[in-house]
Structures are given as structure tokens and as C-alpha cells.
Chain A
Amino acid sequence: MLEIKDLTMQFGALKSINDLNIKVNQGEVVSVIGPNGAGKTTLFNVITGIYTPTSGTVMLGETKLNGLSPAKVNRMGVARTFQNVRLFLNMSVIENVMAATYARTKSGLFASALALPSSKGEEKAVRERAEELLSFFGTRLTGYRWGEPAYSLSYANRRRLEIARALATDPKVLLLDEPAAGMNPKETHEITEIIERLRTEKGLTILVIEHDMHVVEGISDRVIALDYGVKIAEGDFEKVATHPDVIEAYLGRGTSDKK
């Protein structure tokens, strides 16, 4: 489904990603791990069009993604969440999700201003879809919370909202950037379940950046380890976790041990 070929991303003299090759098949959940600075978020930024790669290609099926703007990439079917949650804070919870349906809807300025039936119908449908997506997360993001500004949400709820928002863009591939960061064990467990449900109930292909190895273990069909922009290991969790290069990358650089 998603194929990254010979990808290099260079900033000045620094090769943030160096000749990377990754293949993600449809319906897979692949985790990307690696110490900080390994180039994981940069990889996401390149896939979603925020950066244009120095060389190499990013393919979604038959479509070439590199060089497209982030909006176009999203319309092709790739949605993401951000490492440090970027919600539309001053908009309400439900508006955050409704806004993301933009690319899949078409009411123009005049249609909305004149309250044409087509616009009203679409607005209703958008609202229902948003409610449906928010309900995916159970009681946490439902009811009275919908009208509240996003900045009133707790940290964990913000992360969930961000996922709901990404889902509203109707993606085929979902990129989650550290979805469990800053969560307590119970919340982490919930996220693991959510990711699994996203795969089975929504049929999504998911690429996850994570540091929490419990999550990685729980969700991944495959794990890819990066260090200094290069792939140092790939395989199932067991294989990668015990890979000498991976251990050295983590421990040798003095990062904290497995959470």
C-alpha cells in the first residue's frame, strides 16, 4: 500500500533520513521505533508532504506522494496525528472533527450563506459523522464535551480527539506519532485497543511511531527500527527487540531503558 523507496532527506549537511526503504502492506500495523533524533517524525513529515525529500519516492499504491502539498497528500488518503498534539484549540471538540471533513464535502460560500437545502443536508451529515467518530472513543469524548473548546480537554482526551479528527478525513493510511506519549498505563492500554480496533473495524493501514515498547509489542505486525536516519532492523517485535544493533542504539546512546 505505502512504499518508501531510497528516501533521503537532507537538511544542510545533516542527512535526517538516509536511503530508507520501507514497505507497508494494506491492513498492516507497522511500528517505527528508534532513539530520539533517528528521523522518525521527519519520515512522517516527508510522507505527508510537509517536507519534500531530497531524493527517493513515496508511493501510495500507484500514486506518487512526494512533492504533493500536505492537503493533497491527505486527500490521497493519508492522515496523521502530531507528536505534540496540534488541535484547533479555540474551536469546540466537535468542530475540530467536523472541520476535517472539509476535503470530503463541497458546500461553497454561497450555498452556506443562502442556506440552500444541499448545504443544510451536508451540514447535517457532517455533524452526524463527527458524532459517530467521537463515539468511537466511548464515553470519553461524548455528550456535553462536544460543545466545549478543545483547550478544555485533558491531555489524553486531546490525543484521542486528534485521532478522531484524522479519521474524519476518511483516510486509507493512518500515521500516528507517539499516540501513547504521556499516558498512564490504563490509558496506554486503551490506546492499544483503539489501534487494534482501527485496523479491524475501520480497515486502516497504520504506521505508528512509539517509544513505549508495551504498545509496540501489543499492536505491531511488524517493527522497523531506525537510527540516524537508517533502518537498522526490521521484523516482528521479538526479532527487533533483541537485535544487537537496536539494543546498542538505545542503550549505547544513554537513553532510558524500556518503559
Chain B
Amino acid sequence: MSNVKPEDTSSLGIGTDQWVEQHEKRIGNRSGLVGKALSLLQRIPVFARYGLLLGAAFVFGALVQNEYLLRIAVNLGVFLMLTYGLNIVMCFAGLLDLGYVAFFGFGAYQYALLSSPHLNTHLPTIATIPIIVLSTALLGLLVSLPSRRLFGDYLAIVTLFFGQVFVQLVLASDSITFPGAEESKDFTGGSNGIPGLDKFKFFGFEFTSIRHYYWFVLVVLILLTIAITRVDRTRIGRAWRTIREDSLASESMGISINNLKTLAFVTGAALAGFAGAIYAGVQLAVFVNGFDVPLLTLIYAAVILGGSGSIPGAIMGAFIMSVLPEILRVPEYSEILFIAVLALTIITLSKSIKKILLTFVALLVTGFIGLLIFQLFGVKRALDETWAIGPVSKIMKSWLFVPENQIFWGNISFVLLIAAIAYYTTASKKIRMIALPIIGYLAIFLWEVRLIANPSVTRQLIIGALLIVLMIVRPQGFLGKARVEVL
């Protein structure tokens, strides 16, 4: 099983155990292409990696003029804070908090109430941020305290409800009539949200440009990364991890698991609240629909995809989940991305260069066959060429048959694609070879015909599929360490 050749004894010596030495390499190697990419990455020393990232971030913040891009970056930063927070709750302490996004919303709404014309309160930011962080932490305490003794599943349930209660309360709090009052008071703006929030203001300096927010978030993230890394390596972080490993053994070693769980929960909540405050300050408006399950799934996907428990994983996951959708919004870019991913998938799945070439050729052939079949059955072709948005689809114009009734054929191809993928996972090697080009064609067909016009749905579909596939193929995410689980 080991990839070590007999002559490769350079790392051996008295007292060194070959098995142990090869261990990390083995884990990496087993995971194919991704593993190879990772071991390449690992050659770069740690501080250099962070240094590069930091350098890139500085350059970006100093040079980029496009406000839209800066805004994306700030959103990424906020999202990363959320990923950090969930990382602490889920991966350090092993708790399943399904209402996490409610703390984010709580922080944002608090900011809206404390720094806006809505309630005519305009506290300076130097005051609002600590207030928000502390109160969200308090809320986290209130939520987790009664459920301390609950087993994992039950905490998930209670937090899920809490998340819903939050949304419901906010929606309904646009007309609260206090006993004795004449008319109802609008606290939260209900489904309309609260617009017109104050910009951040520190000691008279107002954040007039998005760039100010960018630097602020960058500094916060740097500090947080250092702090979290430190905590992870020391007493509390270790104790958290023991809870995740084996809570019974942990408790038997004197670790007060309930207190620590609460601590993790509260810390995560506080981070989310902080992120919420910043988000509100950037968006200058809050709407409760942004703080519900769709965002929750994004954060979870980010944590899991990137690799639970690792800071680099969080960064990568946040990047994928936050920046990618932005890329998908632009049809030209999303098309290139799609083709790239498809090509990558085919390359990863076919083990040899010969097979890769064969598959591509077969893909081309399938396309032409499809063309023939459609024309044979007299299916009407799309008259205009509005579907050919990007450069790649322009090339594909004569190869890909795009029917007129796009919705109908899109649906059919969608069902066929799912069936084909399902079949692929159970089929033998030979059948897989034939199935792969067909799947590729169906995917391209579906993409051009339907998905490219519906980026938001596409994004969700990809996330859903990714979550399932990831759990099966690589549950530790891209940058996480493979874990040994005790059942």
C-alpha cells in the first residue's frame, strides 16, 4: 500500500518509525489529485503562505479602484468572520448550531437600532460594537444555557427553532402594542427591514468610502486569526477538541464539558454578532430574509468544504462560498468556470492521459450525435443566439444543439443527468468510461440551456450536490485533516 520504494530510506534511522514517517504522505496521496495539489502547497512554509495572502490583501486594498470589487472583498471578510465563528462552535467543540445565522442577524439589527434614524439613536461606533458583541454573547448564553445537558441532536433542534423564532419575531415586531399605549411601535421594520443606517464613525472619522471598511475588516481578521490560532494551541482549544473527540473521556479527565460547550457557543455567537454589526455598517440597511436558512447553508458549506477545524480551510471555504457566487453572476466568467470545473472533473476521474483524451473525443462525438438525433426528430432549434453569451458558447454554436423550448428540454436533461450520475456511481469501470462523456454532454447541454440563465438556482444546486459528494468522497473538506472517527 505504501508508495515508498525500497531504496527510499533517507528518512529512516534508529528510533524512527517508517510507518509514522510516511503517515502524512500516505493520507495525502490517497486522495488523488487534490492530495497531490495539497502536498505541493505544503512545501511552502506556513508563515510564507500567510505572508503571501496578507501581501495580496494589502495590494488589493491599496490599488483597486472598483467599488464593486471592494464590496465583494468586504463581504468576503464578513463571511470569513462567520466561518471562523462556526468553526469554533462546530469544529472545535463539536456542537451543531443550526440557528447560528440568527446571531448574525441579531448583531446587524442591533446596529440598525443603535445607529440609525429608526429609533433616533446615533451612538458612536466605538460604543456600538462592544455593546453588540457583548449582548450577542449574552444572547448566546441564554440560548445555550438551558440546553447544556442536551445531547448533540437535541441542541441542533433547539438552535434550529431558535433561528426560526428569531426570524418570526423580527418579522412580527413591526407593530408591537405595549399595554396602555395608544398605537403600536415599529421596532424592526418587519419585512421591510430598516434602511438608512449610519456609517461607521470612530472619533469623528466617518467611513465614507468602502475602502475604509475594507481596511477595518482586514485588521479585525488579522487579529482574529492570530487570536484563534493561539487559543486553538492552548488550554481551552485543546479542551474543546477533547470534547469533540470523546466527550465522556474528556469529562472523566476533569474537563467541565458543559461549561466549555457554553463557552464555545457564546464565543461563536459573539463573533457572529460582531460580523453582523460590520455587515450592517457596510450595507447601511438590514433585511431579515438575509438572516435565514439560505445563508446558514452557505456558512455551513464554507466550513465543511474548506475543511473543518482549520483556519486555512475556513479561509478557502469562505472564499469559495462568497466569491464564487459573484463570479457566477457574470455569465462569461461563470461559463469559463463551469467548463474548467467540468474539464477538471473529467481529468480527475480518468486516471491516465490516454483516457482523458479518449473521453474528450467521445464527448465531441456525443455532441454531434446529439445534434443528429435532435435534427432527426425535427426538434425546433433556438432561432436566436442569445444563449451564446460567453466566448466558450460562441465556439460551441455549431456543435451544441440548443432547442427552442428550453424549459422543457432543460428539465428532461436535468432528470437524465441526475439519473446518469446516479448510475455512474454504481456502474462498473467499463460502463463508466462510456457514461462519462454522456454525463459531460448532458451537463454542458443543461448548463447552456437552463442553468446559465438561472445563476442563483445553479449556485444552490451546486452547493447541494457538493455537500453530498464531499461527505462521501472527502469528508474532511479540501484543507482539513482526515479524521479517525470512533463510532
Asked if B230 and A102 sit within 8 Å, CB to CB, the answer is: no
**Band of interface residues on B:** 35 or more
**Which of A86, A101, A102, A152 touches B20 (beta carbons < 8 Å)?**
A152
Contact of A232 with B by CB under 8 A: no
Asked if A148 and B20 sit within 8 Å, CB to CB, the answer is: yes
A143 to chain B, nearest CB (A): 7
Q: How many A-B residue pairs have CB under 8 A?
A: 119
- Measured in the bound complex, the distance between the Cα atoms of B15 and A1 in whole Å is 42
Contact of B236 with A by CB under 8 A: yes
Contact of A21 with B by CB under 8 A: no
Within 8 Å CB of B254, what residues of A? Answer: 71, 74-75, 100, 102-104, 169
**Which of A50, A100, A109, A148 touches B231 (beta carbons < 8 Å)?**
A109
Return the chain A residue nearest B259 by Cβ.
A71
Contact of A87 with B by CB under 8 A: yes
- Measured in the bound complex, the distance between the Cα atoms of B17 and A139 in whole Å is 13
- Measured in the bound complex, the distance between the Cα atoms of B239 and A168 in whole Å is 14
Asked if B235 and A100 sit within 8 Å, CB to CB, the answer is: no
Binds B, one of A114-122, A206-214, A234-242, A248-256: A114-122
- Measured in the bound complex, the distance between the Cα atoms of B23 and A151 in whole Å is 11
Asked if B249 and A102 sit within 8 Å, CB to CB, the answer is: no
Return the chain A residue nearest B245 by Cβ.
A88
B24 to chain A, nearest CB (A): 9
Contact of A80 with B by CB under 8 A: yes
Contact of A60 with B by CB under 8 A: no
Contact of A91 with B by CB under 8 A: yes
**Which of B15, B17, B20, B252 touches A80 (beta carbons < 8 Å)?**
B252
B 232-253 to A, binary, CB cutoff 8 A, 1 in contact else 0: 0011111101100110111111
**Which of B23, B239, B245, B250 touches A148 (beta carbons < 8 Å)?**
B23
- Measured in the bound complex, the distance between the Cα atoms of B309 and A62 in whole Å is 43
**Band of interface residues on A:** 35 or more
A 50-80 to B, binary, CB cutoff 8 A, 1 in contact else 0: 1000000000000000000111001100011
Given contacts A109-B236, A112-B234, A145-B20, contact A165 B253 (CB under 8 A): yes
Within 8 Å CB of A30, what residues of B? Answer: none
- Measured in the bound complex, the distance between the Cα atoms of B16 and A108 in whole Å is 37
- Measured in the bound complex, the distance between the Cα atoms of B23 and A100 in whole Å is 26
B 449-487 to A, binary, CB cutoff 8 A, 1 in contact else 0: 000000000000000000000000000000001011010
**Which of A90, A95, A105 touches B481 (beta carbons < 8 Å)?**
A90
Contact of A13 with B by CB under 8 A: no
Asked if B231 and A89 sit within 8 Å, CB to CB, the answer is: no
Given contacts A103-B254, A148-B20, contact A91 B235 (CB under 8 A): no
Given contacts A50-B248, A82-B249, A86-B248, contact A99 B227 (CB under 8 A): no
Grouping DSSP codes into helix (H, G, I), strand (E, B) and loop, the B interface class, with mixed when no group exceeds half, is: helix
Contact of A98 with B by CB under 8 A: yes
Asked if A166 and B486 sit within 8 Å, CB to CB, the answer is: no
- Measured in the bound complex, the distance between the Cα atoms of B251 and A107 in whole Å is 18
Within 8 Å CB of B20, what residues of A? Answer: 144-145, 148, 152
- Measured in the bound complex, the distance between the Cα atoms of B250 and A104 in whole Å is 14
B12-27 at interface with A (beta carbon < 8 Å): 15-17, 19-20, 23
A146 to chain B, nearest CB (A): 11
A129 to chain B, nearest CB (A): 12
B144 to chain A, nearest CB (A): 15
Contact of B363 with A by CB under 8 A: no
Within 8 Å CB of A87, what residues of B? Answer: 246, 249
Asked if A166 and B19 sit within 8 Å, CB to CB, the answer is: no
Given contacts A71-B251, A148-B20, contact A98 B238 (CB under 8 A): yes
Within 8 Å CB of B175, what residues of A? Answer: none
The 9 closest A-B pairs by CB, nearest first: A103-B254, A74-B254, A113-B227, A88-B245, A86-B249, A112-B234, A99-B238, A100-B253, A151-B484
| Given A90-B241, A104-B254, A105-B235, 5 additional A-B pairs, CB 8 A | A88-B250, A99-B250, A109-B236, A109-B263, A148-B23
**Could you name 8 residue pairs across A and B whose Cβ atoms are closer than 8 Å?**
A71-B251, A86-B246, A88-B245, A90-B241, A101-B235, A102-B255, A123-B234, A152-B19
A residues lining the B interface (CB < 8 Å): 48, 50, 69-71, 74-75, 79-80, 82, 86-91, 95, 98-105, 107-109, 112-115, 119, 122-123, 126, 139, 143-145, 148-149, 151-152, 165-166, 168-169
